[in-house]
Amino acid sequence: MVKRQIQARGVKNEAVLNAMMKVDRALFLPDSLKYCAYMDDPLPIGEGQTISQPYIVGLMTEMLDPQTGDRVLEVGTGSGYQTAILAELVKHVYSLEIIPALAKRARALLIDEMKYKNLSIRVASGYAGWAEEAPFDKIIVTAAPPVVPDALTEQLASGGRMVVPVGDCTQRLCLIQKDNFGLRRRDSIPVRFVPMVDY
């Protein structure tokens, strides 16, 4: 999966590829869909949500440019697959999930079963971010807001990077970089994510 669907399509970051080799996507799927785990497709995980296709997970993680000392905010825990890959790469992952059942399931898998000690999961709206733990070196958003929430750009550290799909029906994957002069945005490929919802 990693060699044919991710590396072959241009993802080159060795640390990202190694993390994706280590984290088994099948663990994050319902039993009825485990046979599809290594296909390059988004798949349903319940509660009207999906696990992203492996290529998009690899691409977004590479765009984020994770470093070992980073504190990362993830908006949209979902299945926990992206969370686990980040936890292999950075100092600490702070993950927000608005759907309590998904947060509970991800916590049981990632913390209780897989024994990750460098992540925290909270049930909350991603639109507000996680102010008590800000600023974050990196922010990754795995659902699509119509515009980038102000709270997230405010909680991004100077020198930080945010990867977020933006738009309603038509979405673009965006890289936002913050420095002392403000924000710079670069749009990448068209994507389709579930909408980012609020309470």
Q: Which residues are catalytic?
A: 52
- Give the DSSP letter string of 39-73: SSS-EEEETTEEEPPHHHHHHHHHHH---TT-EEE
126 token code pair: 């991603």
Strand partners, 145: none
Position 30: which residue type?
A: P
Whole-angstrom distance, CA of residue 197 vs CA of residue 34: 27
Whole-angstrom distance, CA of residue 28 vs CA of residue 133: 27
